[in-house]
Amino acid sequence: MIVRHARPADLKALLALLDEDSIREVAEHYSDLSPYAAALEEILASDHATVLVGELEGELIATAQVTWLRRLMYGGGLVCQIESVRVSSRLRDQGLGRQLMEWVIADARSRGCARAELTSNAARVNAKRFYERLGFISSHVGMKLYLQESA
């Protein structure tokens, strides 16, 4: 698998991967792709964020969104925040998710990040085990406040 930064042409494949999620926090409506295209463009233009894709034989099969946050803690250091990690459901349990996450962790180390962090829905028991095998620990309780109703 080749890991690379997403391109605007990857948008539909990215949304398809995100749509495979069995636990949806918000209902997505793709009749108008322009908000998603604008969001992807903004993310990719940022020096502090990216969307990564995993490509296998020319097919986009994995993704993760990564943000680097400057913190006052850790000597003013960086923290790598990882979100929306997905591997195509037909290709799971083949080590592709591990490969993607190892790429992200290596990149975070090369940037001098103090830590990598992520949240995962509590119902995702297998995902929790996956992240623990990579060395992540359950150290905090995550909380969310939704500011807009889902459509």
66 domain residue, yes or no: yes
Whether residue 80 contacts residue 91, with contact meaning beta carbons closer than 8 Å, is answered with no
6 domain residue, yes or no: yes
CATH of the domain at 13: 3.40.630.30
Give me the domain span that covers residue 91. 2-133
151 domain residue, yes or no: no
Phi, psi of 139 (to 5 degrees): -110, -15
144 domain residue, yes or no: no
Dump strand ranges (E) for the chain: 2-5, 49-56, 59-70, 78-87, 115-118
The residues that bridge with 68 in the sheet, in sequence order, are 80
33 domain residue, yes or no: yes
What global pTM score does this model have? 0.89
When the pLDDT of each residue in the chain is averaged and rounded to a whole number, the result is 91
81 φψ region: left (φ > 0), alpha (ψ -120 to 50), beta (else):
beta
| pLDDT, position 122 | 87
When pLDDT is averaged across residues 8-27 and rounded to a whole number, the result is 83
